[in-house]
Amino acid sequence: MLVCLFCPESVPLQQKDILLKHLLLEHKLVIADVRLIADLPKYLSYWRSRFLEQPVTEFCSVIKTNSNGPIEKQENYFLLCDVLPEDLILRERLQQKRLEEVLEQQQLEREDNSFHHSCMFCSEEFTGNRSSLLNHMAREHSFSIGLPDNIVYCKEFLETLQSKLDELQCLYCEKTFRDKTTLRDHMRKKSHRRINANNREYDRFYVINYLELGKTWEEVQSEDDGELVDDGHNDDWSDWRAHPMSAVCLFCHHQSETMDLIYTHMKESHGFDLHQLRTELDLRFYQQVKLVNFIRRQIHQNHCYGCQQKFDSREGILSHIQTEDHVMMLPDASAWDQPQYYFPTYENDALLCTLSDSDDGCEDSHSKDVPVIAEDVSELRTLKQTSILKQLLKNRNSCS
């Protein structure tokens, strides 16, 4: 509940605008930048107690209206803002506490393997880590709300989006349609299968909005990099560090920040050695790309890529390939060496970025695969007689 700073008037948190209107009309008080206050109930409680100790004029800027008019028509309004050091400290303290709570909640969600939710577009059920559902929607339905690690209160976020779809509302333009078919066609044709970044309702679900006091995600992202330039014009890049790419295992949801670690994990945990397959099959770069995408697609669809047997769950397929020793068993190349597997199964698959060409440093290793088409010499005499060079020589002799 939100309680007035001066009287017993109170409203639910969702109706804060009613209380702000009450403060303005009844008590002539305005609170600046309310939307940037991390915890409005605690903020109001603090100032309610302070106003009982000292008059409001000790804390607020006084704005006189109609100052040139008659005294009886003049009114004083009070502005409570972070120009006052005490107010700024309070806002920063509330912001810091909220950030700590959000980061703690985010960590719990990242490690939670009891997450259960169905896809909004195909009703497929997902149990385990939230990333499996978010990756599925991005991969299969081209709908992305962002990277899982950037999101907090994920289940509430998904329920908010689901409620909009249930009300036949487009997630982007937020228009309402008469039936699900019309809504689906609209979102597909208009490329509206995404959320509206200008809708502030979604801000609370992204960690970036809690990072800096008084700044929205747009302001954080649009900060001028020029402000970060060192006045010393230091051109030394020795302390620069790249952000690590997180690669995902071909068989489970395990992620590693280095390729060596993910290759080691796949070899030790699943018995899969991509380097060995590359060497044994003499795979070139694009063949490796297609093989990785093929295996990802088959595992995602719960198919054994070795024997094409179908299973009901990820656990079933993984148990099968281990017990039947199908981990390193590939089908005929015609099954996976197809143009459709040029395209990644997962968006921004870091594993594809580290594949190396098996013929590095050996230019002739695949020369036998390159077809050489011989010249057609069957009409050599005709070619000589009709050659343009012969005509040019005739013209030259006649000129001389």
The answer to pTM > 0.85 is: no
Domain ranges in the chain?
Answer: 2-96, 112-221, 247-341
pLDDT score for 359? 46
pLDDT score for 223? 57
Which residues have a Cβ under 8 Å from the Cβ of 129 and sit 6 or more positions away?
110, 112, 113, 115, 148, 253
pLDDT tens by residue, the chain, 400 residues:
899 999 999 999 888 999 999 999 999 999 998 888 888 999 999 999 999 999 999 999 888 877 677 777 778 889 999 889 999 999 989 988 988 898 899 889 988 889 999 998 888 899 988 988 988 888 888 888 888 888 899 999 999 999 999 999 999 998 999 998 899 889 888 888 888 888 888 888 988 888 766 566 556 556 544 455 555 555 555 555 555 567 788 888 888 777 788 889 999 999 999 889 888 988 888 888 889 989 988 988 889 998 989 998 888 999 999 999 999 999 998 889 888 888 877 767 778 877 765 444 444 444 444 444 455 555 555 555 655 556 655 665 565 5
Which residue, among 231, 222, 259, has the nearest Cα to 354 in the 3D structure?
259
**Can you tell me which residue has the tokens 């806002």?**
91
Phi, psi (degrees; rounded to nearest 5) at 245: -85, 135
Q: Tell me if 73 sits within 8 A of 66, measured CB to CB.
A: yes
Token pair of 119 as six digits: 């896809």
Residue 187 host element (H or E): helix 180-189
pLDDT score for 339? 82
**Can you tell me which residue has the tokens 């000589």?**
384
For residue 135, CA distances in Å to 111, 114, 142, 248 come to 16, 17, 10, 11
Q: Are strands 115-118 and 125-128 parallel, antiparallel or unpaired?
A: antiparallel
Token pair of 368 as six digits: 């036998």
Q: Are strands 29-31 and 255-256 parallel, antiparallel or unpaired?
A: unpaired
Cα 88 from Cα 34, distance rounded (Å): 13
